[in-house]
């Protein structure tokens, strides 16, 4: 099968878990014998006049990366304009695949879109090639804002998400909770929605057993610095944890719009000297922190899946996670990690204390978490299930779309 995957991030451009997800999926599909082309973008700040579209084969995947066109927009300030400009460049590159001498007349059997930022090019290319459009919806604007989308930009993003969902011929979500969310937000006339969990390549995350170590404990957070990730709850819990476990520190890896606010939260809770902001980490540095931490804390208030939980489990890092969305499915409380309700600072504190008080039990849970990865989160299985969705997808008859419904109340359970 010839597969065209459209994603706004793909290595070396990695913003969050989506880029790693698409990379593993694409390479696994290619290893299974499919012809895979990934249409993505070059790093921010590239100009098509000096950095034209590049094509290279990596791990059996043809990667087509477009420059920003025009390069005048900044994602954080001009999000919709930036997204449309990126989409325009992607459409031009995607159409060029069908031209002799460029793509040698290559045409896909299916187009696979990843999230709303590539809605315009994915929909356009599926129409151009007259093939089914499969979309993986990794998150929703409403979910990121606890069900409320009162701002103008929020509503615009929600509308594009709704459009992509309803223009798709099949939809994939990474958790059952996200499946429910998609149905609630974008229904009722959606195509089939299939749950396929994220995967993990355990060979790239060396497992290191933990023995009791002397000295103060280190807790680690990895992820985007956004409100819905709940980093503020980990900071709020730190003074309480330090009262029973003096000297405990919190290392925060990642970047995001809430960086300065989180710094202020650390000062407000008088733990600024005990909180270290690491910025984005490359693979080796991240693995080193995962091996060195006593536990990883993932306190998300909203989380469609949380792939870092799998990566931490693969490295042998004890898990302390909220039950938000996919984290509640990825972590079995008391068996593969310890869980608490989203926003529950007391619950987070208790879970952290339990891990630090009983490192042997935490190690047993870490071993169980690692073992579960090979059975429930194998990338070969993920790719196989995704290919089955491709094969079953049929291009639906298009009808004029009504206006999207805008949520006027929180989503169920929020």
The sign of the CA dihedral 42, 13, 90, 383 is: positive
Q: Which residue has the higher pLDDT, 48 or 147?
A: 147
Domains located in the chain, CATH noted: 2-199+381-392 (3.40.50.2000), 202-376 (3.40.50.2000)
Q: What is the mean pLDDT of residues 172-189?
A: 90
Which segment of 117-121, 167-171, 207-211, 406-410 scores lowest on mean pLDDT? 406-410
Tens of pLDDT, residues 221-261: 999 899 989 999 999 999 999 999 999 999 999 998 899 99
Q: What is the mean pLDDT of residues 390-395?
A: 97
What is the pLDDT at residue 311?
92
On whether the CB atoms of residues 32 and 141 are closer than 8 A, the answer is no
pTM of the model: 0.79
What is the pLDDT at residue 400?
74
Tens of pLDDT, residues 312-368: 999 999 999 999 988 888 899 999 999 999 999 999 999 999 999 999 999 999 999
What is the pLDDT at residue 82?
87
On whether the CB atoms of residues 195 and 175 are closer than 8 A, the answer is yes
Tens of pLDDT, residues 92-130: 999 998 885 555 678 999 999 999 999 999 999 999 999
Q: 175 φ, ψ to 5°? A: -155, 160
On the question of pLDDT at 206 being above 80, the answer is: yes
What is the pLDDT at residue 44?
66
What is the pLDDT at residue 45?
61
What is the pLDDT at residue 413?
47
pLDDT band at 301 (very low <50, low <70, confident <90, very high): very high
- The DSSP-derived string for 303-328 is -S--HHHHHHHHHTPPEEEE--TTHH
Q: 285 φ, ψ to 5°? A: -65, -40
Non-local (6+) Cβ contacts of 376 within 8 A are 197
% pLDDT > 70, the chain: 92
What is the pLDDT at residue 148?
67
pLDDT band at 292 (very low <50, low <70, confident <90, very high): very high
Q: Which residue has the higher pLDDT, 105 or 27?
A: 27
What are the DSSP E strand ranges found in 80-238? 110-114, 133-136, 170-173, 193-195, 218-222
pLDDT band at 167 (very low <50, low <70, confident <90, very high): very high
Tens of pLDDT, residues 43-55: 766 665 555 567 7
């Amino acid at each position: 099968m010839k597969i065209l995957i459209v994603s706004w991030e793909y290595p070396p451009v990695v913003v969050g878990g989506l880029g790693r997800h698409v990379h593993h999926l694409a390479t696994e599909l290619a290893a299974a014998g499919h012809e895979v082309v990934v249409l993505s973008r070059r790093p921010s700040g590239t100009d098509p006049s000096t950095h034209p579209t590049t094509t290279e084969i990596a791990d059996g995947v043809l990667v087509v990366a477009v420059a920003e066109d025009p390069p005048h927009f900044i994602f954080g300030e001009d999000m919709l304009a930036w997204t449309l400009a990126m989409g325009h460049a992607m459409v031009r590159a995607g159409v060029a695949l069908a031209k002799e001498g460029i793509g040698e007349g290559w045409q896909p059997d299916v187009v696979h879109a990843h999230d709303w930022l590539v809605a315009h090019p994915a929909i356009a290319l599926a129409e151009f090639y007259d093939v089914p459009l499969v979309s993986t919806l990794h998150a929703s604007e409403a979910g990121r804002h606890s069900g409320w989308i009162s701002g103008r930009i929020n509503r615009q993003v929600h509308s594009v998400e709704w459009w992509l969902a309803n223009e798709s011929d099949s939809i994939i979500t990474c958790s059952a909770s996200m499946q429910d969310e998609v149905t609630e937000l974008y229904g009722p006339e959606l195509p089939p929605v299939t749950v396929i969990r994220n995967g993990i390549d355990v060979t790239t995350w060396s497992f290191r057993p933990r023995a009791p170590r002397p000295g103060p404990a280190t807790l680690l957070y990895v992820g985007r610095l956004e409100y819905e990730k709940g980093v503020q709850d980990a900071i709020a819990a730190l003074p309480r944890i330090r009262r029973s476990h003096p000297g405990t520190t919190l290392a925060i890896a990642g970047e995001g719009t809430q960086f300065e606010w989180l710094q202020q939260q650390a000062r407000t809770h008088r733990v600024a000297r005990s909180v270290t902001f690491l910025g984005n980490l490359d693979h080796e540095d991240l693995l080193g922190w995962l091996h060195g931490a006593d536990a990883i804390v993932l306190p998300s208030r909203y989380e469609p899946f949380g792939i870092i939980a799998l990566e931490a489990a693969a490295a042998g890092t004890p898990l302390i996670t909220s039950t938000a969305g996919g984290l509640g499915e990825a972590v079995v409380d008391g068996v593969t990690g310890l869980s608490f309700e989203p926003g529950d600072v007391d619950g987070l504190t208790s879970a952290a204390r339990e891990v630090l008080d009983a490192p042997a039990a935490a190690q047993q849970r870490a071993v169980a978490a690692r073992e579960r990865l090979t059975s429930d989160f194998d990338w070969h299985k993920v790719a196989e299930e995704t290919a089955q969705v491709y094969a079953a997808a049929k291009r639906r008859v298009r009808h004029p779309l009504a206006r999207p419904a805008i949520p006027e109340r929180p989503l169920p359970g929020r």
